[in-house]
Amino acid sequence: MAKNMEDITKQVLDINRNYINKSIDVIGLLKEAGNAKKITNIDKDLVVDVFNGIVKLNLEYYAKLVDFGFSVTNQILSPSQESSTGSSFTLSGKVKPGEIITLQFVLDNPKSEAVLCELQYSSFLNIDDQTENPEISAKFSPQSFELEPEKSITIDISCPVSKASKLGTYFSHVKVVGFEPAYFTIILTIEKPITTNVSKKNQSDKKPESKT
């Protein structure tokens, strides 16, 4: 890819160089006395206008070229809009393997027009080492809908956790298509199941059978 970009850059520079050289040649021809005699039947004001037009085109071309260069540079060096926005809010809860946790939030539409929305979530990652936990998923109700202007809707989130899930704290980013780049975060802590030990009476504690 780097090689292709280098070749494209060289081609663009060659085109720019040829464009400028041709412009300079035309201006030089207009300035030569011999050529001026050949075009005596042409209005001198027209020649001046042509000359000024070529100069103006060159200046505009360079200005746009510089603006484009700065724009590309800013896009490369600046962080993405989504990463700089930050999470709008966080929903959190505790759940055990084999259980389902339910969360809820209210989505508002402050826009003046209706918005087609769809909820999309990223894989749940361990908050410490960023490893993925495929045993956690999220289901939204509703998931796709149209939200009228100045209206609100309550979204239910159901997160089933498989019995095979590892313990720990995991997070997922949820994006609401239609309100980009805003997103929110779900944080789930998978806790160890509580085991109850049923104590059995010792055989010695049993009452002796009565003999008849």
Q: What is the pLDDT of residues 109-154, one digit of tens each?
A: 999 999 999 999 999 999 999 999 999 999 999 999 999 999 999 9
Which tens digits make up the pLDDT trace of 60-69? 666 666 666 6
Give the Cα separation of 186 and 87 in Å (integer).
10
The mean pLDDT value for 199-212 works out to: 54
pTM of the model: 0.55
